[in-house]
Amino acid sequence: MSLRAKVICLFATFLALAFMTPLAKADALSIVYTSLLNQTATIGPTFTPVVFDGFIVNNTTAPITFQLTGGPVPFEPFVASFVNGIGYPGITLGGGKSTTLFPLATVNLNPFDPSLTYPGHVNIVLDAISVDPVTGHTGDIITGNNASISVQTAVPEPSTLFLLTSALLAVGFLYHRKPARVH
Q: Where are the domains of the chain?
A: 26-155
How confident is the model over 149-178, as pLDDT tens digits?
999 886 555 566 666 676 667 666 666 666
Q: Which CATH class is domain 26-155?
A: mainly beta
Q: Which amino acid is at 49?
A: P
How confident is the model over 2-46, as pLDDT tens digits?
665 554 544 444 444 444 434 444 679 999 999 999 999 998 888
Reported as a pLDDT band with limits 50, 70 and 90, residue 183 is low
User: Global pTM?
Assistant: 0.68
Q: What does DSSP say about strands 120-131 and 138-153: parallel, antiparallel, or unpaired?
A: antiparallel
Residue 124: strand pairing partners? 72, 147
DSSP H or E segment with residue 53: strand 48-58
